[in-house]
Amino acid sequence: MRITDLIDKKSINLNLKSKNKLDVIDELVELMYGSGNLKNKEEYKKAILAREELSTTGIGEGIAIPHAKTTAVKKASLSIGISKDGIDYEAFDGSLANLFFMIAAPDGANNTHLEVLARLSTILMDEEFRAKLINANSKDEFLDLINQKEIEKFPEEYEKEEIKLENDAVEIKEEIQEEIELKYPKVLAVTACPTGIAHTFMAAESLNKTANQKGVSIKVETNGSSGAKNILTNEEIEHANCIIIAADKNVDMARFNGKKVIITKVANGIHKADELIDKAVKGEAPIYHSSSYTKNSNEDLIEEEGALRKIYKNLMNGVSNMLPFVVAGGILIALSFLFDNYEIDPANFGKNTPIAAYLNMIGGYAFDFMLPVLAGYIAFSIADRPALVVGFVGGIIAKEGGAGFLGALIAGFLAGYLVIGLKKLFSSLPQALEGIKPILLFPLLGTFIISLLMTFIVMPPVVALNNGMTNFLMGLGGSSRLLLGIVVGAMMAVDMGGPVNKAAYVFGIAALEAGQFEVMAAVMAGGMVPPLAIALATTFFKNRFTEEERKSGIVNYVMGLSFITEGAIPFAAADPIHVIPACVVGSGIAGALSMLFGSALRAPHGGIFVIPVISNPIGYLIAICVGSVVGMILLSILKKPIDK
């Protein structure tokens, strides 16, 4: 689709009168309405403002491309404005905008607005071309400049049009379709897990492998801990038959508007890849709608996602964003003890020497962010950006008031649903006040209300509960501590990265925040055992495993030593009846022995790399080794030799 095909001369203004962002939006909407392309001007403007709430469409370099896809639009079209003096459109690079292209797309137009957005971004990269547009003396000259630039940038499209005039239209359509099928993957996928370490990439590998076996072209985007990789392009999304979203945290869904989408758990991307690929190829999926007005129509997209799963996803969004602060802060604080001298002042251990004091201080700064970030990103997961500040404030109140980890959890969920309530409350405000909601009403009222709720309702019982739990943990001794070690260690191996595993890990972090460092040590020991037990079994009992499993087993040494329990998942998925019980017993024993030896861990991650900062490191290594060997032996007993 050419850009010039979407432009009516009536919708061009080469000399805008506007001086600010809202005025230029009004002026461009009027141009669009004047060209006869809108059914409802106010509804279209509302959609434009809603998109601006998400993030500014001022893309920098003097360009702004506001856009909306809504039922208020009759057909895809553009309105264009030029301001020679420039207007502040809140661009990311701080530049004033001179060129404005407002895109209107009807609701059923697939990703027309994204295609136009991509084409505009491509041709407007040329600074000399932008200058010619700004200084165009007439609308005809302006349109001719764009037309010539499109021919220059997309010559293949014009060649195809010439062939189409000379040959049979049906044959050309078939050729183009074949080219599309060869160029673009039939199935797209996005994988994501809360930590973005193991499940994300295992699901991607499973989907890729299954699709290749079936002869289906696929591209998988991974939303890992270091950011999104192999990102899906607008063109790929447009031509895809179906998109699979295998994720346990929120991903960018707006780009899939109007496409067939399957939304499921990341675990299904690993274990049910065959079923998901078949559904995607057949197109057995509903159409996804990103507009909030059609939110209810997306309910059937989500497999097995009830209220508890939504709560779990919101919680994991908070935990995954909090984790880097906890890991960095915890390891730095642990290092402060390693570089200190206990004999100088036992009561000030960790801060006696200058280097220890500095490490302790920096680690403490990182730790201070833990609860506010947890609450803030739980709220963000529930109600998007307007809830972030409300969650942060609730989290800091929980931290300073002694409500701890549990208080921050409650604050995050309260803040998210509070902002949802405020959105509904202010939904009937006049359109002119739309812009002040996210920057004034939501943060101001949300912060005030969350502070009242936390101070007078949440804090008193939670502080009392925290004190009771701390006293209970402090009072545990002998067999009670061993039992606690068995429980948290075994939980780490039950589903190896799933909800039970994460529940034990979150409990370990809560205990860490409460000063119970032995619990975190038992949790990590229990999480290291499953991949290590499997690695040992594939080394010493090779006849129980296939050649491919033996090769994968070697990788589990690294996964286990790095405290990545998910390395055991492929083995557990292939043979859960034999693998899981052996790992659970081994992990439980490791957790119990860690408690018995009094090993304490001040960092919530790190595996073998933080052994030097664990109290009684020799005992801790013994606990892990014994648990891994027991798991290996049980696995060799439960699994029978494979018939050659």
Side chain identity at 525, as an amino acid letter?
A: A
Alpha-carbon distance of 501 to 488, in angstroms, equals 9
**Phi-psi region for residue 369, left (φ > 0), alpha (ψ -120 to 50) or beta?**
alpha
User: Whose CA is closest to 200, among 241, 237, 245?
Assistant: 245
Residue 514 backbone phi and psi in degrees, to 5? -90, 0
* 24 touches 80 (CB < 8 A): no
Count of CB atoms within 10 A of residue 566's CB?
A: 24
Distance from CA of residue 350 to its chain's centroid? 36
β-pairing, 67-70 vs 242-247, is unpaired
Residue 193 backbone phi and psi in degrees, to 5? -130, 165
User: Whose CA is closest to 145, among 133, 155, 134?
Assistant: 133
Alpha-carbon distance of 350 to 356, in angstroms, equals 6
Alpha-carbon distance of 34 to 194, in angstroms, equals 48
* 615 touches 597 (CB < 8 A): no
Alpha-carbon distance of 269 to 191, in angstroms, equals 8
Alpha-carbon distance of 380 to 116, in angstroms, equals 30
Place of tokens 């801790």: 620
Would you state the torsion angle of the CA atoms of residues 549, 550, 554, 557, taken in this order, to the nearest 10 degrees? 70
β-pairing, 218-224 vs 227-229, is antiparallel
DSSP per residue over 513-571, as a string? HTT-HHHHHHHHHHHHHHHHHHHHHHHH-GGGS-HHHHHHHHHHHHHHHTT-GGGGHHH
Place of tokens 């296939």: 546
Strands (E), 145-236: 187-192, 218-224, 227-229
* Both structure tokens of 295: 């939110």
Paired strand residues for 81: 13, 100
* Coil, strand or helix at 337: helix
Alpha-carbon distance of 616 to 239, in angstroms, equals 58
Alpha-carbon distance of 160 to 560, in angstroms, equals 56
* Both structure tokens of 292: 């909030």
User: Whose CA is closest to 462, among 410, 396, 527?
Assistant: 410
Q: Which residues are catalytic?
A: 67, 193
Distance from CA of residue 110 to its chain's centroid? 24
According to DSSP H, which parts of 426-546 are helical? 442-453, 459-475, 479-494, 499-513, 517-540
* Helix (H), strand (E) at residue 423: helix 404-425
CA angle 397, 400, 401 (to 5 degrees): 75
Paired strand residues for 99: 63, 82
Alpha-carbon distance of 477 to 471, in angstroms, equals 12
Paired strand residues for 79: 102
